[in-house]
Structures are given as structure tokens and as C-alpha cells.
Amino acid sequence: MSENFMIQALEKKGISSEFKLPNGQIFKNRIVKASMEEGLSNSEFLPGEKLFKLYTRWAKSGAGMLLTGNVMVDPGGLTGPGNVILRKQADLSPLKRWAEIGKSGGSKIWMQVNHPGRQTFGFITETPVAPSAVKVNIPGRMFAKVFGEPRALTSDEIKVLIQKFVDAAVLAEKAGFDGVEVHSAHGYLLNQFLSPITNIRKDEWGGSLENRSRFLLEILKGIRGSVRSDFGLGVKLNSADFQGGGFQEEDSIQVIKMLEPLGLDLLEISGGNYESPAMQGTGTGKREAYFLEFAKKAKEITKIPLLVTGGFRTRSVMDEAILSGQSDLVGIAAPFAFHPEFVNGLLSGAVEKVSVEIPKLSNPALNSLSKMSAIRLQFRRMGEGKEPRLPGSLIWNMISDQIRGRKNAKKYKKLLPHLLKAEQV
């Protein structure tokens, strides 16, 4: 790092500087707690005391914005059995408290809204919905029956899901959240529509990239037309799925051009899916921030503020990403699980680098699952008022996490008829 750059970083503050979104919303600094699935909903699949305790810690972190973990827009589709599920008939008071806690330290808090599509564990849903009946294919016999056999959505069902995303954003606004991020990455439903591997439809929702993008675009148009102008609207989009024949960088650039006129406040860049988990790291060890090279390309064709998430650990690298103009905001995930209040030290200069030492497993898919299980353990510990601590055995922790998930899934299946009935009211 050159002396001139360090002087520039001190003068312009880098990640310490405020950032103003197109809608006028101001983040007190450039650090965003990226979305991680907490799995801490209560027995009614709404925010509860454990989630409140966790966000009380993160509210003290010093981050400019907190992005929540996956919040489900449809009771019939969960990424995990501990997800918060939004529905119009539910009591908003737990959501309001969640938003209040998130903002109590001066951070903005946005809700990430999502639908898993085919990436649903079989013990939750045996027949998940998807653009087309293409099952998740992860190498290895142990994964053969992990995911259910999906069925293709009808055109009418797609229109219903579009409205559910819109309804979720309206509920988030009523509850006091500062914005929503629509999850269209990591192999979840909207990303499945974008990919020619998982979307082999022949109707208006498949075929050309324009058709495959229609689901996402209609959701965003619906949300922007249903919330206040100062309510934040963002999208999480893959730079690529990193699969041959799938959603490529060239596709992502074209989708970003389609997003440009829709009045977005934020575009988060990520990559990968369950079959190719690039969001867990490139594995090359050559660079700290995974998706900055693509962000530079995106900057050339869009004025939407960019949030780049993945791999940031060092203050100087974060500052350079901001000061070089490659990114407007820096998204950080795993460090918040182990060092929940580290941003204050990072901004003050007391901390230069935050590390997360989770041992790696040789199988990429297994490694991804074990890492997520280790992170969720920290959420449970903080939700119980304890300090983060790595498990003695990653494998045993992963098995325990799956057992816990199956128990929660049984509760979910028991409650599901009630949830679906309430949807019809």
C-alpha cells in the first residue's frame, strides 16, 4: 500500500465516511452487516427473544447498515426451519421490535426477503416449487436425497408469488424497517429463474434472458410502486453462478442494465449457489474480496450504488475498494458471527484485520454446510446471552444442526396448515 494512498484514505475516510442513497437515506459509514440466516424464529415463526438478543449485539457493532437474514415471503417455502415467515394476518409487534432494536445504535436496518424455490431441504418440503422441475444436484451419495423433487410453478402461481414479495415489502415498511433487499442470488428462486440451467420454461417466464428476468423485474416494479419513495429497495444479484451453461457475467451485466431504470437504491454483488458455493470463498487464496473485479465492470454501466460482499477482512482493502470507486459499500458476513461488535474497532483504527478461523473440509458442499452450521451456532449462543465460540467438532456440530433442523421442521409442518389457511383470509 503506497504512502500516497494511505494519506488519501485518511483524508477521505474510506469506510468511515457517510453514504447517501438515491432515496436520501444516509448510512453513517460504509460497512454493512451482510445477510446470514439466523434460524432463530419463535414457535410461531416470528421474531422472538433470541433474535432480539442477537440484534441487540449487532446494533452495538457500529455498522452503517444491518441486513437481516432470510425472511420468507411464502409459508410454503423455507430456506431453513427456523426462518421468520411474513404473512399479512400476523401480529406486527414482533417485527416492529426487531426493527427498533436494529436501529437502536444508529444503524439502518433492511430486511432481506426471499423464497428458496428448489433449494429446500427435503425434510422441510418434499416437493418444492421452481421455475422448472430440475432438482438440486450436488455430487456425493449423501446429498442424493437431501433436496426434494421440485415441480414447475404455473404462470398463475408466479403472479401470486410476485404479489407476496410486494406484500412482504409493505409489511416491512409498516414494521419500521428502512428498506428491503430482494434476494436474487445464491441459487434461490429468483436466481433459478435467471439461470438457463434451472429455467427451461417455454412461456413468457423462460427462454430469453429478458423473459427469465421478468419475475425479478415485476417484483421490483411492484415494490417500488407500493412503498414510500424514501423506503430503501435493493437487490442481491449473482455476478455469476460459476456453473457451465448457467448464469454468466455477461448475463448479469445485461440484467443490471434492466435494473437501472427501476429506481433501486442498492445492488449487492455476490455469486454461486448450493451446487457451486462461491459465496463461501473462491478457494484460491489470491485475493481478499471475491467479487470486486466484477463490481468494477458493473460500475461502468450503472449508477445504482454497489454493495460488494464476500471475503473482506482488512481495513486497508476495504478502504481501497471504496476510495478506488469499485464499491460504494462493503458487506461483511462471518466476522459478525464471531466478533459481533468489531466494526467500532475497525473504524477507530484499533482493529486492522478481523479474522474468522473455521477449519475447512475437503468436500466443497460439505465445507459450505459445516461453515453455515458453525456460524448458526454462534447466533444461538448470542441469542442465549453467551459469547461466540467454535465447536469442538465441525462434523458433530453439523449433524446436531441437522437434527435440530428436523425437529423444527416437524413443528413447521404441524403449523403449516394454519399458516396456509391464514393466507386465504
Domains of the chain in sequence order: 3-423 (3.20.20.70)
Number of H helices, E strands in the chain: 13, 14
Query: Could you give the residue ranges of the DSSP H alpha helices within 104-154?
Result: none
pTM of the entire predicted model: 0.92
How far apart are the C-alpha atoms of 52 and 58, rounded to whole Å? 10
pLDDT in tens, the chain (425 residues): 444 444 444 446 899 999 999 999 999 999 999 999 999 999 899 999 999 999 999 999 999 999 999 999 999 999 988 999 998 888 899 999 999 999 999 999 999 999 999 999 888 988 999 999 999 877 666 666 788 899 999 999 999 999 999 999 999 999 999 999 999 999 999 999 999 999 999 999 999 999 999 999 999 999 999 999 999 999 999 998 777 778 899 999 999 999 999 999 999 998 877 766 554 444 333 456 778 999 999 999 999 999 999 889 999 999 999 999 999 999 999 999 999 999 999 999 999 999 888 888 887 777 878 888 999 999 999 999 999 998 888 889 988 988 988 988 898 888 888 887 777 65
C-alpha distances out from residue 222 to 168, 225, 330, 339, Å: 11, 5, 28, 37
C-alpha distances out from residue 277 to 22, 185, 238, 283, 419, Å: 32, 11, 11, 10, 32
